[in-house]
Amino acid sequence: MLPLLDQLAFPAIRRGHLEALQINLTYRCNQRCLHCHVNAGPTRTEAMTDESLALLHRVIDAHPVHTLDLTGGAPEMHPRFREIVVHARREGLRVIDRCNLTILGEPGYEDLAEFLAEQGVEVTASLPCYSRDNVDKQRGDGVFDASIKGLQRLNALGYGQDGSELILNLVYNPQGPRLPPPQAALEADYKRHLLEDFGIHFNHLLTITNQPIARFGSTLVSKGQFNDYMQLLRDSYRPENLEGLMCRSLVSVDWQGYLYDCDFNQMLELPLQLQGQLIGRERAHLRDLLDGQLDGNPIVTRDHCFACTAGQGSSCGGALND
């Protein structure tokens, strides 16, 4: 048994080589999911400014990153989403769209799926269960049926099909204060059920542990489950997961262009630290990536980081060890 809640501090870790930029384009979303760690929803208005977008293009052109990971909210609801995608793909970057699937059927987005396919964008789509009741409970009435229609539309364009270069990954989040089940076994269940029931194909299932922050954290507190969940995360700590943490190779960028070690730190307003480089400033910004390097930089950690090292581990790319 590992030490009790107040005796185990998350270990100090440092960055490796920067490989990916994860851009939170907007907090606006057509959904309002219970597990959402950014509190996104239809009434949020925050969106990346033209000034920050111009800097983003300069960073893409100047910095040797190979992946642009677009998230939100619903990133597609940013008015310049397509421009960002086209620029990044022209520069040879792998582009990931963190898609909620239902956006594909919203008015004004009727041709979005075709655009993603034409640009060769990798779609990573939220589908917390293959059961209608479970999905609608977590994400709202009608979300499951709309998600299935979105997946079928992507399949028709070649996404997730054998021999196709169009990658379609699904994301699973547990319902409630528990760790995800083993990723490989759950992926097999998803593939069987979705194929048998709806004729749907996809490439991989990514299991992600719910973070005890924002909307999900507030729900845990209101139900008196927060301390027990944190103890579960600490008790499930596995040091072998440290090496694969996404914060070692990814930088999270908020809608104002400020930098964070991960999307979760962004929501907690824990900015990336650039020792000795932020003269007269409190937060690192996209402009700091134009010339600076982050290799060896200390990563800002807090108790929520135990969610990424618990059990099989968790990252934006799914389980770290399965």
- The CATH number given to whatever domain includes residue 82 is 3.20.20.70
> pLDDT tens-digit profile of 4-45?
444 568 999 999 999 999 999 999 998 766 556 666 788 898
Q: Does the predicted TM-score (pTM) go above 0.85?
A: yes
Give the CB-side neighbour count of residue 75, counting CA atoms within 13 A. Answer: 26
One-letter amino acid of 298: P
What are 93-150's pLDDT values in tens digits?
Answer: 999 999 999 999 999 999 999 999 999 999 999 887 787 877 766 666 678 899 999 9
pLDDT score of 64 more than 90: no
- From its phi and psi, is residue 280 left (phi > 0), alpha (psi between -120 and 50) or beta? left
Residue 36 lies in a domain: yes
Would you say residue 321 lies in a domain? no
Answer whether residue 234 shows pLDDT above 60.
yes
Average of per-residue pLDDT values in the chain:
89
Query: Is 13 among the domain residues?
Result: no
Q: Is residue 320 part of a domain?
A: no
- The answer to whether residue 1 sits within a structural domain is no
pLDDT value, residue 279: 53
Please write the tens of the pLDDT for every residue from 185-225. Answer: 999 999 999 999 999 999 999 999 999 988 788 889 999 99
Of 90, 115, 93, 322, the closest CA to residue 206 belongs to 322
Within a domain: residue 58? yes
Q: Is residue 78 part of a domain?
A: yes
DSSP state of 39: -
Q: Is residue 189 part of a domain?
A: yes
When divided into structural domains, the chain yields a total of: 1
Query: What domain range is 40 assigned to?
Result: 20-309
- Cα angle 117, 120, 125 (rounded to 5 degrees) comes to 70
Tens digits of residue pLDDT in 248-307: 999 999 999 999 999 899 989 999 988 666 655 678 899 888 877 788 899 999 999 999
**Per-residue pLDDT reduced to its tens digit, 165-188:** 999 999 988 888 999 999 999 999
